[in-house]
Structure 1
Amino acid sequence: MVKGNKETTDAPRIRPVPAVSRAIAILRLLGKTRIPMGVNAIAHALNIVPSTCLHILRALTEEKLISFDSTSKHYRLGAGMLTLARSAIESNVFPVLVQPALDRLSTQWGVTAIGVDASDPDQMVVVALSRSNLPFRLHVDVGSVFPSLLSATGRLVAAFGDQPESELKKRFQKLRWDKPLDYKIWQKEVEFAKKNRYSIDKNTYIAGITIVAVPVLTPNGKITHTIVCASLMDALNKSQLVKLTNEMQAQAHKVADHLFT
């Protein structure tokens, strides 16, 4: 675009495609509820005109992404989603690279060890997981999705991401914690994470739980993933936490070397 004598370039605008957005919303709803739903229930939940909803459901059924029970007249996710999920996993080498490290960490330290994809500025996704044989179990599964700035990983996303402070504050205010943090305190913890390349959430996101996270960084310092370990708050003393963090950082460096070299 030319304005006066100065040439400028506008960023391309992303135009919404309602049918696509609604189809994705339907898939997410069925995945979240995990129970079959009828067309009217789906349309009401997503504020879609029932006739429009039905057309989208039929298209998704044709593509095997959802399945239809002719007896109950209900829809659920279909086998085609498994194919897509398998392809996504196979094309993402991080879970394969990090899984042995997670298994070692969980066995040695009695923690739940987690591999997290933190590349999306809006959300983080659990892509790998290893649980210890101890009674402690964190309620998280592969595929679990959380706001990007939550817990220990969130501090690292803020520290090594490129979101402006105004956006960080806006997103922070929407987070839910067992024991809410003041934004200024959280900012200091983000600065600590930036300097030391790890973050600890103790008794704030989940009461009684200590969560340690270290970043996996690109050569230019951009965060893509994190390695996370969670345990009962008093299960590890200060010295043990230091040793655990050092080991996690070593594993993160190894994974980064394989990912980016």
Structure 2
Amino acid sequence: YSIGIGILPLARSALQRNTFSSVVQPHLSALSNKFDVTSIATQLAEPRQMVVVALAQSSIPFRLQVDLGSRFPALISATGRLLAAYNGLSDSTLKTEFKKLKWDHPPSYDDWLLQVAQSRDRGYAIDPGVYISGVTVVAIPVFGSDGKMTRSLVALGITERLESKDVPKLAKAMMAIRDEIQSSQIDIGS
């Protein structure tokens, strides 16, 4: 047996019922328009993967394509630095999972751990073309009721277009979105 194309409406329906997705969607659209980035919201899934549950493309002619339902390893890129920073994974688990990751420009494990600590200190993570050449990824954590990161808000942009001076402004805007969603008392589901 194999899963056919008929599964797509079911998957889309499940994602649309995810309250977090519907609440964050208009915010992602505004973020994409303001900063000319592709904005996504991800949710942690097993086995140790992040799934894209909402997205908004920028309006610029050349942009990065991400698909709803896309999966990627939970510890990769900026989102992975946040997961490592906030979810209390053991050093042996981190090291084992880190060795499995595929990067365009792989950092050393020690450099990555330093970036994890920096991400925790500033409250957001940056991947400046390490995961994908020429693509800067900025991510902020969204926390569950247990204080662990269960989701993230992510912005992807062409590195040369997303200058380093814009990254703090972008991260601040993303944190404001997260804070508004979390303080709205809306049940954003699990």
TM-score (norm 2): 0.90
Alpha-carbon RMSD across the aligned residues, in angstroms, is: 2.0
Match of 2:4 in 1: 77
Matched, 1:218 2:140: no
The equivalent position to 2:134 in structure 1, one of 180, 186, 208, is 208
Partner letter of residue 238 of structure 1? S
Q: Which runs of 5 or more structure 1 residues have no equivalent in the other structure?
A: 1-56, 58-74
In proportion to residue count, which structure has more helix? 1
Name the count of aligned residue pairs: 187
Map 1:234-245 to 2 at 5 A: 234-245=160-171
* Deviation readout 1:218-255 (Å, 9 max, x if unpaired): 24421111110011112133332111110001101122
Give the 4+ runs in structure 1 shifted more than 6 A.
Answer: none
Tell me how far apart the structure 1 counterparts of residues 24 and 135 of structure 2 sit (CA, whole Å): 23
Match of 2:110 in 1: 184
Partner letter of residue 160 of structure 1? Y
Identity of aligned residues (%): 41
Match of 2:21 in 1: 95
Matched, 1:123 2:49: yes
Contact 1:218-1:260 within 8 A present in 2 as well = no
Q: Secondary structure at the match of 2:114?
A: helix
Larger radius of gyration: 1
Tell me how far apart the structure 2 counterparts of residues 251 and 119 of structure 1 sit (CA, whole Å): 22
Contact 2:19-2:188 within 8 A present in 1 as well = no
Q: Which runs of 5 or more structure 2 residues have no equivalent in the other structure?
A: none
* Deviation readout 1:81-114 (Å, 9 max, x if unpaired): 2453245224411110111111001101100111
Tell me how far apart the structure 1 counterparts of residues 144 and 151 of structure 2 sit (CA, whole Å): 10
Matched, 1:141 2:67: yes
Contact 1:219-1:260 within 8 A present in 2 as well = no
Change (3 A) 1:160 1:121: farther
Kindly state the Cα deviation for residue 121 of structure 1 after the two structures are TM-superposed.
5.7
Map 1:2-13 to 2 at 5 A: none
Change (3 A) 1:158 1:83: same
Partner letter of residue 254 of structure 1? E
Match of 2:119 in 1: 193
Contact 1:118-1:157 within 8 A present in 2 as well = no
